[in-house]
A and B are shown apart, each in its own frame.
Chain A
Amino acid sequence: MTRSEEDSIISAVLSGDRNAFEAIVLEYQKPMYNLALKMLGNEQDALDVTQEAFLSAYKNLKKFCGDSSFSTWLYRIATNLCLDSLRSDKRKKNIVSISSMRGEDDEDWELQIPDPGPTPETLLEKKELKRDVSRAMEALPDIYRQTLFLREISGLSYEEIGQTLDLEPGTVKSRIFRARKKLFLALTKKTGNFSESETSNTTKEA
């Protein structure tokens, strides 16, 4: 959907053509739903939040003022709903994730590769990669996972993510870096392609 198509759909909805909104839902439901799914971890909540996000966007369409792209605006709504949902879950269960409170990590990138090492293909076989990444993502502290997902799925910039999560762009950037680093270390540790010194580095934190 091009920007101008999007604009004309929005105008149509605003002038009373409710059905026109369906095109918006169809266009964005997949990334929105997946973003919610990744952030919330279960399908029912993801569905609820995605639906809520679309309805909220519909209700507040008038307030969308073209400052950001429409997709940014939509993702922002969805992300905020996800965060609200997570907060309410935490409140409900009175659980504060210790891992998510631990702000900084101190793993070292140092890899001590003993030899030219495995090729990327052997290191991270495509076939199993998604599953492994997905698993490793789940083990990430919330703040890293959310930030990285937002980046990877929505394609928002650091600034836009910062606006969404109420963070400085620099914080967004460093969270994304750390998230990727943690994933990398978790995945490489799993495949055992790196030396012991590396694995001991990664466990140090735990």
Chain B
Amino acid sequence: MRKCDKYRELMNLALDDAITEYERKRLNDHLASCPECRLVNEALKSISEAISEDMVEPPERLVKNVMSEIKTHRHFGWKSITAAAACFVLIASAVGVGFFQNRDASADPGSASAYTQTSDVDGSGTYDPDALAADADGVGVGNGLRPSRAEPDESQQGRGDDGTRTTSDATEEENSGENAPAASKSAPDGESQNGQSDAQQEPADGSVSLMDVPTDVFNGMVSAEIYFSGSVSSSEPDVTLTGAEEIEMLSEILTYEQAAGIPVPEGEALFTVIAVNESGERTEIRVWRSNLQLLMEFNGELYTVSGLLEDILALIE
């Protein structure tokens, strides 16, 4: 190590305001007698300045985007029981409808059309139930369970069974069978005994609190595949989550908040989650991003979810 090396370190400390007075004096004394170090010191300062000065103006829309997002954001905390109930209905629908509607998506390329067909929803956030129903393999999806129409009591009822009864006829039976290993997140061998484990999530007073909802989306799921690339059916998942905790965290992140009020974008989603249950059935959940919010696609509509992209990324890290 050359004797000048230690002064190079002091130069850096000086640049970072981390130098002591004593060190600064030593550095200055040395600089006075060492032309090479003087040169290096000046160069380092210039580089440092060049980096900090080399800033561009951000796009004008930045402030506007942030502020408009903030103004539509519900304010600190979700207080409304009605809203929570509506949220709950969505979850129930997601489990009941989304599950069956989408599980064959990877096997049947044609089923992907359910999404593209819904891209013509208008700006008000309404959707065309027929577009989805036509593609739902006979599963009744037009159950009318949309947040604005949801009755808390009805939702409570629907969920009282197994969280999937909001779907109709044939699927219901099929599902109750599949739901048996619902609690198997911690028992992947399927020996767990019931699908009733979520019973404790029902408050006695009939209200539905937000915190009760999220785990249901992935209830009974043993793994979640995450695809960052476009085609789900033709590629390997980028990440596969198999831990019960991870799946639960994912489900919390992807908890519905409210209708986003914008149509489902055309083109690729930001990422796609395929939740896989014990029987290997797959639920596809597509997640988009609008400026600042994660948006989850369901029934051809977009909803904001409670988690942020960073939560997802932290989870799969």
Contact = CB atoms under 8 A, between A and B. Distances in A.
Interface string A10-43: 0000101011011001100111111001000001
A59 interface: yes
A84 B76 CA distance: 24
Contacts, number: 174
Q: Chain B interface mostly helix, strand, loop or mixed? A: helix
A190 interface: no
Interface string A70-96: 000000000011001101100110100
A106 B35 CA distance: 24
B52 A152 contact: yes
B67 interface: yes
Nearest to A52: B292
Contacts of A134: 50, 54
Contacts of A123: 39, 42-43
B18 A184 contact: no
A101 B300 CA distance: 42
B48 interface: yes
B51 interface: yes
A120 B76 contact: no
B51 A149 contact: yes
A144 interface: no
Chain B contact-residue range equals: 35 or more
Interface stretch (B1-9, B82-90, B166-174): B1-9
Contacts of A181: 8
A71 to B, nearest CB: 14
A189 interface: no
A48 interface: yes
Interface in B23-37: 35-36
Given A58-B70, A110-B2, A80 B310 contact: yes
A59 B73 contact: yes
Nearest to A49: B309
Contact of A180 (B12, B291, B308): B12
B75 A16 contact: yes
A29 B58 contact: yes
A42 B189 CA distance: 46
B292 A55 contact: yes
Residue of B47, B76, B308 most packed against chain A (CB within 10 A): B47
A31 to B, nearest CB: 7
Contact of A117 (B8, B39, B48, B62): B39
Contact of A120 (B2, B17, B43, B56): B43
Q: Which of A54, A92, A117 has the most CB of B within 10 A?
A: A54
Contacts of A116: 35
A153 B63 contact: no
A34 B55 contact: yes
A165 interface: no
Nearest to A125: B46
Contacts of B63: 22, 25-26, 29
Nearest to B4: A109
A159 B303 CA distance: 39
A153 B51 contact: yes
B16 interface: yes
Contacts of A61: 76
A134 B54 CA distance: 8
Contact of A55 (B12, B66, B314): B66
Given A47-B58, A51-B62, A153-B52, 19 more contacts: A29-B62, A29-B63, A34-B56, A48-B289, A48-B291, A50-B62, A51-B69, A58-B66, A84-B310, A84-B313, A92-B229, A119-B39, A123-B42, A124-B43, A124-B46, A126-B46, A133-B47, A180-B12, A180-B47
8 contacts: A19-B67, A34-B55, A50-B58, A109-B4, A133-B54, A148-B51, A151-B16, A153-B52
